[in-house]
Amino acid sequence: MHRTTRIKITELNPHLMCVLCGGYFIDATTIIECLHSFCKMCIVRYLETSKYCPICDVQVHKTKPLLNIRSDKTLQDIVYKLVPGLFKNEMKRRRDFYAEHPVDASNGSNEDRGEVADEDKRIITDDEIISLSIEFFDHSRLGSSMEEKSPKEQVAHKRYLQCPAAMTVMHLRKFLRSKMDIPNIYQVDVMYEDEPLKDYYTLMDIAYIYTWRRNGPLPLKYRVRPNCKKMKVSHAQHEGQNSTSRSGVESDSASDKAGSPAGAPSASSSLPSPVTPAQSPQPPAPSSVNGTPAAAPTTPGRSFTQFGNGSGSKPRKVSLNGSSG
């Protein structure tokens, strides 16, 4: 079974931190010769006195090393999303800097001036409150039937919540189960569109994975289905009961066979023809007491054929009362 492991941010620090300043990347910049990354300010200052990579000593450029470095926006976005509060603190630091040192920064971008909000950058923090909508997922209503509904009908079936970004899908499932009194024999799944979500996903993870752009509440759905584990247990118990009943029937039939005379045929088969004692599977004839034949060990209501002692006498039929026929 596939197991998911949570990775701590400290384990990723070597890939998110600049070796020159020891802090997280700010304006991550990569050397195109060796693909090592640094803060933009750090690597620019370093290359003023050296033309080699600070990590692997590969030559960046013979005369103009600044020509062989590139800004890495993807890496910087990863750092901002993984390190809580880094983006907000950096934007505040830039705004404070330009407020104390008024210069013409019209050539720079809004992010360079610190004028980009978390919502515009789609950076979500753990303590942020996320608005979400939750509705029942009905597979039979997919397709055209959903389009036929009016906006009012669609809104009527939705519920809106405000939850911390660090809340997990497991907590949301427990909330739905408690709110709607769903028995434990049913499984509650939280879904994005038609895809079930993992229990350890946080709302922040869902927003990043499915590129939620904050243009409305985070759209989630839920469905209720029978619990597979409960079904398997009940099915196994049912099979156990069936096997027990079958074994009881077999044991009863076996006991019937054991109580019947040796070699006695079933009611649906014909009686065997008389044979000589050497060929007969029947037990020897019972001895008589005072001239009266002993009762045969047979099932009540049945009679059996008793054979002679091999002297050529005819077979006799003995009844239940011991008299011979």
Read off the pLDDT of residues 3-19 as tens digits, 9 standing for 90 and up: 667 788 888 999 999 99
Query: Mean pLDDT across the stretch 102-118?
Result: 74
pLDDT category at 174 given cuts 50, 70, 90 is: very high
pLDDT category at 271 given cuts 50, 70, 90 is: very low
| Top CATH class, 127-138+155-224 | alpha beta
pLDDT, averaged across the chain: 74
- Check residue 211 and give its pLDDT: 85
Residues of the chain with CATH 3.30.40.10: 7-83
Q: How many helices (H) and strands (E) does the chain have?
A: 10, 12
**Residue 82 pLDDT > 60:** yes
Please state, in angstroms and as integers, the Cα–Cα distance from residue 231 to each residue in 137, 177, 234, following that order.
Answer: 22, 19, 5
Query: Mean pLDDT across the stretch 24-37?
Result: 95
**Residue 325 pLDDT > 60:** no
**Residue 237 pLDDT > 50:** yes
Give the torsion sign (CA, 269, 273, 279, 284).
positive
Is-contact 228 187, C-beta < 8 A? yes
Residues of the chain with CATH 3.10.20.90: 127-138+155-224
Query: Mean pLDDT across the stretch 148-160?
Result: 66
* Check whether domain 7-83 has CATH 3.50.50.60, yes or no: no
Q: Comparing 112 with 236, which gets the higher pLDDT?
A: 112
pTM of the model: 0.55
- Check residue 141 and give its pLDDT: 59
Strand partners, 28: 39
Strand partners, 31: 69
% pLDDT > 90, the chain: 35
- Check residue 109 and give its pLDDT: 76
Return the closest-CA partner of residue 31 out of 88, 70, 3. 70
CA angle, 12 then 18 then 20, to 5°: 145
Query: Mean pLDDT across the stretch 243-270?
Result: 46
- Check residue 122 and give its pLDDT: 78
> Which of these ranges, 48-62, 90-104, 166-180, has the smallest mean pLDDT?
90-104
